[in-house]
Amino acid sequence: MLMAVPKLKSVQEASELAAEIERMESALKTLKAELKRFVDQNGAIETGEKVWKYNVAVSWEFHKSGLKEMADQLALEGINPWKVMTITAANLNKIGWDEAVLSQFGQKKETKRFSSKKK
């Protein structure tokens, strides 16, 4: 059920396409919520190429001294701990340091991501 993708020629056409994408994303969210409800009650659902089910995502939360001990162990094993351990953008925001302070410790890396944001 693919639709033809129009070649945009004006700002108006681009705005209309953006509104249609927003409508489709909203519909997709609603459809996924209903499928999730069904899977909750009935188990995995197979399509021709995929299985819709819950998949386990594993993450770790370390105790206060755990990260330091892990960094020490990595160093003992010849692995630079700072190549594999990073501070997330969310945690940097929690710290509250501005770019002038952060630039003393490293360099800023920006990645472009195409998305929409509320005005």
Domain residue extents for the chain: 11-43, 66-102
Distance in angstroms (rounded) separating the CA atoms of residues 76 and 70: 10
Q: Is the pLDDT of residue 67 over 80?
A: yes
Q: Residue 45's beta-bridge partner residues? A: 52
Helix-then-strand count for the chain, H and E: 5, 2
pLDDT at 6: 82
Q: Is the pLDDT of residue 70 over 90?
A: yes
Q: Tell me: the pLDDT tens digits for 15-54?
A: 999 999 999 999 999 999 999 999 999 999 999 899 999 9
Distance in angstroms (rounded) separating the CA atoms of residues 103 and 107: 6
Q: Is the pLDDT of residue 1 over 70?
A: no
Q: Is the pLDDT of residue 116 over 90?
A: no
pLDDT > 90 fraction of the chain, expressed in percent and rounded: 77
Q: Tell me: the pLDDT tens digits for 47-66?
A: 989 999 999 999 998 898 99
Helix (H, G, I), strand (E, B) or coil at 105: coil
